Amino acid sequence: MGILLNEESRILVQGITGREGSFHARAGMAYGTNVVAGVTPGRGGQLFEEQVPVFDSVAQAVAETAANVSLIFVPPPFAPDAIAEAADAGVPLIACITEGVPVQDMARIVRYIDHKPVRLIGPNCPGMINPGARCKVGIMPGDIHLPGRVGVVSRSGTLTYEAVAQLTHRGIGQSSCVGIGGDPIIGTSFVDILRLYEADPDTDLIVFIGEIGGTMEQEAAACIKAEISKPVCTLIVGATAPPGKRMGHAGAIITGDSARAEAKIAAMRDAGAHIIPTPADIGATAEAVLGEMG
């Protein structure tokens, strides 16, 4: 079953005629993703790969193809408007891959969609994948995934791939993988995804990858302690980052003691999570916990 995506997911790609949008739309289609529409203003009436209709607006694409997931590949200045357009068209699930969206713009758009029946993944994220449904929305490499019963959630795209590669190498499949994004303001939090995995009957264990900056990991720890009955294996990266130094993601900057890796690890340990010592230990830790579960 997995979360967010399934066999009924019908994908439209905003920016499908651009370099990144076209590349990843092709990759998704090759994986098995049901891409039903593209949107590029001024390119309406064209066909992408001789089979996917391109529309001038999301509203028109939804009306004609019943698309229910939007994948956004547009430049940072236009990404907030692309999110708003998808939300206004009634698309219930939106993934924005774009990196570099201004924080003020994201604050505005998150507030705008807050009361709409919409879930936003990202921005600055790798997207999501359901290996069992052969559906991927974003930039995750499909060939490293294996259908199974471990849910993965991460702020880091690269570490998501590393986690999946280690799991697959050990024969441990994934129910779903979600990269929530590394920016200070994002649409979907760790807590949101943890609750979805807790409710998913096809997820037995959760691999959680956090990093320095902000307090999302502490909020997730509180959720794990109070609400999550499934085992959680947790990796927190950035322990050697100096205070005030941005490390990769816009959100990965230490702004106080609570943003440090040590505080996040302590919160996870107190919540009963299984701590993954280093990125090289993701697969081994998950395998050990699964072994304990029988």
Domains in the chain: ranges and CATH: 11-121 (3.40.50.720), 141-293 (3.40.50.261)
How do residues 80-98 score in pLDDT, each as one tens digit?
Answer: 999 999 999 999 999 999 9
Judge contact between 180 and 188, C-beta under 8 A: yes
What digits encode the pLDDT tens for the residues 124-146?
999 999 999 999 999 999 999 99
The pair of three-digit structure tokens given for residue 192, joined into one six-digit string: 């949101």
* 134 CB-near residues (< 8 Å, 6+ apart): 31, 32, 33
240-261 residue pLDDT tens: 556 655 555 555 454 555 577 8
Question: Which pLDDT does position 259 carry in this prediction?
Answer: 74
**pLDDT on residue 249:** 52
24 is catalytic: no
Residue 227 to residue 223: CA distance in whole angstroms: 5
pTM of the model: 0.93
Residue 275, sorted as left (phi over 0), alpha (psi -120 to 50) or beta, turns out to be beta
Residue 212: its pLDDT value, please?
A: 84
Compute the average pLDDT of residues 206-213: 92
Supply the pLDDT for residue 94: 98
Can you tell me whether residue 4 is helix, strand or coil? coil
For all residues of the chain together, what is the average pLDDT?
Answer: 93
On the question of pLDDT at 159 being above 80, the answer is yes
Could you say which of 115, 145, 169, 249 is catalytic?
A: 249
